[in-house]
Amino acid sequence: MFKFVVKGTAFSSIDSKNVAIFENHLFCISETGMISKIISPEEREYASMIQEYSLNNKFQELPQGQYILPGFIDLHIHAPQWAQAGTALDLPLYDWLNTYTFPLEAKFSDAQFAEKVYSDLVEQLIKNGTTTALYFATVHRKSSLLLAEICSEKGQRGLVGKVVMDDQEQNPDYYRDATSDVALAETELFIQEVIELNKQTPQGVYPVVTPRFIPSCTDDSLKGLGALAAKYDVHIQSHCSESDWAHSFVQERFGKNDAFALNDFGLLTEKAVMAHCGFLSDEDMKLFSEKGTAVAHCPISNAYFGNAVTPIAKLLNEYQVETGLGSDISGGFSPSLFDNIRQAVISSRMLADGVDKDCCSEKRGVSGSSITLNEAFYLATAGGGESLSLPIGKLAVDYAWDVQIIDSKRLPIFSEEEPLMDVFQKILYLARPENIEEVWIQGRKVHDKNTRELEVQK
Ligand code: GUN
Ligand code: FE
């Protein structure tokens, strides 16, 4: 017996290059919100399943023009920075952190303020089709836990990190961990609290060891965090080789790139996700590949702070590095992974062609760098799931029923014979939150556009 059965047409990545179309398939969802079976119209039990589950009121058939996509996985997002999204993008990374971002994040010592921002963010992400997010919170343990609680309550799968930044020289007095011992003790307590919370959270909430980036942390805290990640077998996240400045800082401090420095502290693991990675060398990429560490590509943010375009085609094709997509709110202004899919394709094409007309065309770009829309979709879905080592991001048996239902009626589709791959591309390039009808996470409906609008009308 299944909890319910959904009939509809769906799109899901097979691998980084290919997308499968499930036309009018039945998706059979278990009591625990997993996809237990997928039945095609050619199969013998197709008609009887529809009949049986309709009789029991456990059957949903999508109307004409609606399509199922896997929910998106935001692999890098700073929850507190939602309060400044869309602003403060006029300075380079170092000045941006000190002028705008640290003062904002310091305000999250106030739980009421945190509750307001975090509740709104989680709701907005769900409405934008993001079913899983890997969050940086702030240095404050209590409000970081609050973010995990809000994810738990609103039904989103959340991986949350209490940020560690303990270097007294690099961080302002008003916003840092008092000492490395305090940073490690608070992180350990946070891990234990979130593991407890996970026990009553069907979709899962996970603690994440989170050194902000090497420049903000002492050797002691980096070493201790690597040990904590191993002790509890939890996820790790940080920023890695993000910009000219951040990359050079680590070279000066350790005489090596971020990747090898992080690895020395036990911070490059199968469950680690490193944001940006615009300045990885070939050796760094090889190390990522060997360790199973993932890259969170944040194409909108990189256009502001990255000083370079991350070579995603090379990471995927040459080194088989696990790679996903991040909004990097608020280095990136948009909470939508649709927007980031679009920018990932655009940035890769600009890297491939080059941008300076005064440079001759043969030398202008980096050939082989462009990625396809299918590849960008993969990053936002299956690539994110693999990066987190969780059964999400794909429509396949034993994966979670984490989906967004897209209504294509308001998209420029003028013929019932439109090829489904064209519909898919129009959805990815043109869909907006108003086209997202419903969002489901772990077999539970967490957003219904029409119900929400009715509530607002009341
Ligand atoms: N490096 C260290 N902190 C940050 C941050 O908050 N955003 C980005 N984009 N890079 C960082
Ligand atoms: Fe970031």
End-to-end CA distance of the chain: 38
- C-alpha separations of 265 from 139, 220, 233, 299, 321 in Å: 20, 9, 15, 27, 20
The larger pLDDT score, comparing residue 173 to residue 457, is at: 173
287: left (phi over 0), alpha (psi -120 to 50) or beta: alpha
Give residue 395 CA to ligand 1 midpoint distance, Å. 33
Over residues 13-25, the mean pLDDT reads 98
Task: Decide if 395 contacts 70 (C-beta within 8 A).
Answer: yes
Residue 6's beta-bridge partner residues?
27, 60
Task: Decide if 161 contacts 148 (C-beta within 8 A).
Answer: no
Instruction: Pick the residue whose CA is nearest to atom 3 on ligand 1.
Output: 212
CB of 301 shorter than 6 A to ligand 1: yes
Whether the predicted model's global pTM rises above the 0.85 cut: yes
In tens, the pLDDT along 406-451 reads: 999 999 999 989 999 999 999 999 999 999 999 999 999 999 999 8
Give residue 438 CA to ligand 1 midpoint distance, Å. 32
User: In the chain, helix, strand, coil percent, each to 5?
Assistant: 45, 20, 35
In tens, the pLDDT along 269-303 reads: 999 999 999 999 999 999 999 999 999 999 999 99
Q: What are phi and psi of 309, to 5 degrees?
A: -100, 125
Neighbours of 151 (CB within 10 A): 30
Task: Decide if 403 contacts 70 (C-beta within 8 A).
Answer: yes
Task: Decide if 437 contacts 430 (C-beta within 8 A).
Answer: no
Ligand nearest to the CA of 80: 1
